[in-house]
Amino acid sequence: MSDINSVIDQQVKSSDIFLFMKGTPDFPQCGFSGQVVQILNYLGVDYNSANVLEDENLRQGIKDYSNWPTIPQLYVKGEFLGGCDIVREMFQSGELQTHLQNAGIAVKQTA
């Protein structure tokens, strides 16, 4: 496992919810990242994030790690959940809330 893979693996496994995004939750730098942040904030869940724009190795490394070509990428309990479209569809159908609750994560809002 390369150094960046070790870093990513540690990040993904250190939090119940981890978001790799462009920008920060307070200042998303792409609309797709912003949408995922809005969903997570609406649900009132605690999450950590990493700004892939700060580190080219991380930006490419997360794509290789997940075998997923786009960012943002959301991980729940160490498992890759998906990007913006998947997260948005899961949220709209209620599946995201159920998935989080089944993972033992308290959700404060429901759609």
Domain count, the chain: 1
Grade residue 28 by pLDDT with cuts at 50, 70 and 90.
Answer: very high
Res 109 pLDDT > 80? no
Does residue 109 fall inside a structural domain?
Answer: no
Q: What is the pLDDT of residue 82?
A: 97
Cis? peptide before 28, omega within 30° of 0: no
Res 106 pLDDT > 80? yes
Q: What is the pLDDT of residue 2?
A: 72
CA separation for the pair 56, 85 (Å, rounded):
23
* Structural domain containing residue 90: 3-102
Average pLDDT for the chain? 95
Does residue 110 fall inside a structural domain?
Answer: no
Q: What is the pLDDT of residue 104?
A: 96
Closest CA to 106 of 24, 13, 17: 17
Task: Compute the average pLDDT of residues 9-25.
Answer: 97
Does residue 78 fall inside a structural domain?
Answer: yes
Grade residue 1 by pLDDT with cuts at 50, 70 and 90.
Answer: low
Three-state secondary-structure class, residue 93: helix
Residue 83: which CATH number? Answer: 3.40.30.10
Task: Compute the average pLDDT of residues 19-28.
Answer: 98
Does residue 74 fall inside a structural domain?
Answer: yes
**Binding site annotation covers 84?**
no
